[in-house]
Amino acid sequence: MPMEKLYTQTIGQPVVTEHGHVVGRVFDMIINPDTGKIVAFVLGPTGQKIVSPIDVLAWNSALIINDEESILEPDDIQIVSKIIEKNIHIRGTKVFTKSGEYMGKVGDIAFNTKTFMLTVLLIGKSFLGFYYDKKNVAHKDIIQITVEKIIIKDPLRLTPVKAKKLSPKLSTDAATSA
């Protein structure tokens, strides 16, 4: 059964080979803004090495990869280089409806741990670092992701998203990062 994992739950997780050797920690994720799929996990602390999802054996309390040869340079995967050049970040980005209504900022992102697809944006408005008016937006309701903003369907057309175990702790750094 596929499981969902939040961006904030993944950042800082150990990256371990299938033989148990710790090779780093997840520093960031590179997400294709056109598809919502993770194209690379960025390793910390320097953020200059990546792991392709194709080399991930499991994604639970750690990111389990085949071996050290799974660790690549960002330039080794063409799509990763192109996305880095676009400089599009989803977390902390302002979200607007198609008709222009401001909905809040992305505080967290949920992913399917088997397909590496974005499943839900957890958004909210913030005041003095506290989130209110929180909403979950299904991936299929995202119209476009750009450098400046994310455009979603108008509220009456949004797909209801079950809360499941996604109780976001929308952090203050997302509120101030965009």
3-state secondary structure the chain: CCCEEEHHHHCCCEEEECCCCEEEEEEEEEECCCCCEEEEEEEECCCCEEECHHHEEEECCCEEECCHHHEECHHHCHHHHHHHHHCCCCCCCEEEECCCCEEEEEEEEEEECCCCEEEEEEEEEEECCEEEEEEEEEHHHEEEECCCEEEECCHHHCCCCCCCCCCCCCCHHHHHCC
Res 174 pLDDT > 80: no
136 and 171 housed in the same domain: yes
> Is residue 1 domain-resident?
no
> What local confidence, expressed as pLDDT, does residue 132 receive?
79
Domain that holds residue 22: 7-86
Q: Does residue 71 sit within a domain? A: yes
Same domain, 79 and 122: no
Do residue 56 and residue 100 come from a single domain? Answer: no
Q: What percent of the chain has pLDDT over 70?
A: 87
Let me know whether 16 and 55 are in one domain.
yes
Domain end position, chosen among 44, 62, 86: 86
- Domain boundary residue, one of 16, 51, 86: 86
118 shares its domain with 150: yes
Predicted local confidence at residue 133, as pLDDT: 85
Q: Are residues 77 and 98 in the same domain?
A: no
131, part of any domain:
yes
Looking at the 3D structure of the chain, how many domains does it have? 2
77-131 pLDDT per residue, tens:
889 999 999 988 899 999 999 999 999 999 999 999 999 999 999 999 988 877 7
Rounded CA-CA distance 164/33 in Å is: 25
- Between 51-65, 108-122, 150-164, the lowest mean confidence (pLDDT) is in 150-164
Domain edge (last residue) among 32, 61, 86: 86
* Domain match, 81 and 34 both: yes
The pLDDT score that the predictor gives to residue 176 is 38
Are 109 and 67 within one domain?
no
Tell me whether residue 2 is in a domain.
no
Q: pTM, whole model, 2 decimals? A: 0.83
Residue 65: pLDDT above 90?
yes
CATH of residue 15: 2.30.30.240
Whether residues 138 and 72 fall in one domain: no
